[in-house]
Amino acid sequence: MPVILGIESSCDETSAAVCVDGEILSNVIANQTIHAAYGGVVPELASRVHQQNIIPAVQQALLNAKVSKNDIDAVAFTRGPGLLGSLLVGVSFAKAFALGKNLPLIEVNHMQGHILAHFIDEPKPQFPFLCLTVSGGHTQIVLVKDYFDMQVVGQTTDDAAGEALDKTSKILGLPYPGGPMIDKYARLGKSDAFAFPEPNIPGLDFSFSGLKTSIMYFIRDNVAANPNFMEERMADICASVEKRVVTILLNKLKKAAVQYDIRDIALAGGVSANTGLRQGLTALGQEKGWNTFIPKFEYCTDNAAMIAIAGYHKYLKNDFVGQEVAPLARMPF
């Protein structure tokens, strides 16, 4: 019955979770609201706030799980990819805790963590499955052959899907964080109001920078003709942009499913919290006869539960790291 403490601090969420024998008993997420004033995550501020939040988050996670720090068998932490200063706080905390209690340390790749969030609740996907992992920094189609045997078969050649939504939201003058704002307005608008181009990228790779540029010019030209254009058509613009991002993602996923002959299809990462993407994948799955898997909202955006569950599966394989481990801003798998 291993008790794993999971720590996540790769970007602007400080999170701690407790996993007992493969079951998540707590998942505390401290959001950093300070970045809203700057329109995006300020790395220096993020690491300072992690430093303030980490101990209270861990204490709350232990309390919620009704677990004492003496019950912990191993500490799992996000080693990368992410902001180095942010990662340093979680990695240093994990190392200090493990050193103090003489516990093994387990490193987790943040992107693998997002995918392994599918092993928290039922129903769980069967190996091999395809996972579309979409976050603020990454857009990948991953062939998941086993818990830690994963192959990126398609990825963005420029911006990530979340980045495209965040940048669009900024162009529209909406407050940070952008993705959830676009989601909110999109629910009120018509997705066929405006047509944005779908890039022609070969294979399973993605591109979002052309879309971002076309949105910029579209807004500039329309605002020149009508200064109130954005306010008047905000919902329709958001719905149309979201629709294009979703179709770009799902069209590549369709292609990957055929290429790899796989019917278990999963969604992971912060953008999988998006209502349009969740509905789009569910509808496509019904049409194609796929088994689709979408994590609960709290396990889509950054959280330590996914790190703790990944840690549990590494614990079963005795896959530990030493105290010399250091964070990695880039961490391919």
| Contacts to Zn ion by CB under 5 A | 135, 302
* Tokens linked to 158: 């420029």
Shortest approach of Zn ion to residue 158 CB, angstroms? 19
> Two tokens at 69?
């720090």
Among 113, 125, 178, 280, binds ligand KG4 (CB under 6 A): 178
Is residue 137 a contact point for ligand KG4 (CB under 6 A)? yes
Site size for ligand KG4 (CB under 6 A): 20
Please list the residues that pair with 28 across neighbouring strands: 16
Find the binder of ligand KG4 among 180, 189, 280, 285 (CB under 6 A): 180
Q: Which is nearer to Zn ion, 114 or 212 (CB)?
A: 114
Per-residue binder mask for ligand KG4 (CB under 6 A), 222-261, x = binder: ----------------------------------------
Q: Per CB under 6 A, does 295 bind ligand KG4? A: no
Assess 302 for contact with ligand KG4 (CB under 6 A): yes
Q: Which is nearer to Zn ion, 85 or 189 (CB)?
A: 85
What is the closest distance, in whole angstroms, from the C-beta atom of residue 184 to ligand KG4 in the complex?
8
**Cα(318)–Cα(250) distance, rounded to whole angstroms?**
37
Task: Give the span between the Cα atoms of 302 and 306, in whole angstroms.
Answer: 8
Edge-to-edge strand order for the sheet containing 3-8?
23-31, 13-20, 3-8, 74-80, 105-109
Q: What angle do CA 95, 311, 333 make, to 5 degrees?
A: 95
Least separation in angstroms between residue 113's CB and Zn ion is 8
Residue 286 Cβ vs Zn ion, minimum distance, rounded to whole Å: 28
Give alpha helix (H) positions in 66-106: 84-101
Nearer to Zn ion, 103 or 304 (CB): 304
Site for ligand KG4 in 144-163 (CB under 6 A): 162
Site string for ligand KG4, 183-222 (x = CB under 6 A): x---------------------------------------
Q: How is residue 294 written in tokens?
A: 């979408």
Do 112 and 79 contact (CB within 8 A), yes or no?
A: no
Task: Please spell the DSSP secondary structure of 284-317, one letter per residue.
Answer: HHHHHT-EEE---GGGTSS-SHHHHHHHHHHHHT
Query: Nearer Cβ to Zn ion, position 107 or 302?
Result: 302
DSSP one-letter code for 156? B
Q: Kindly list the distances between the CA atom of residue 256 and the CA atoms of 21, 182, 242, 288, in Å, as whole numbers in the listed order.
A: 34, 27, 21, 13
> Does 266 contact ligand KG4 by CB under 6 A?
no
Residues of this chain that bind ligand KG4 (CB under 6 A)? 11, 135-137, 162, 165-166, 177-180, 182-183, 269-271, 273-274, 301-302
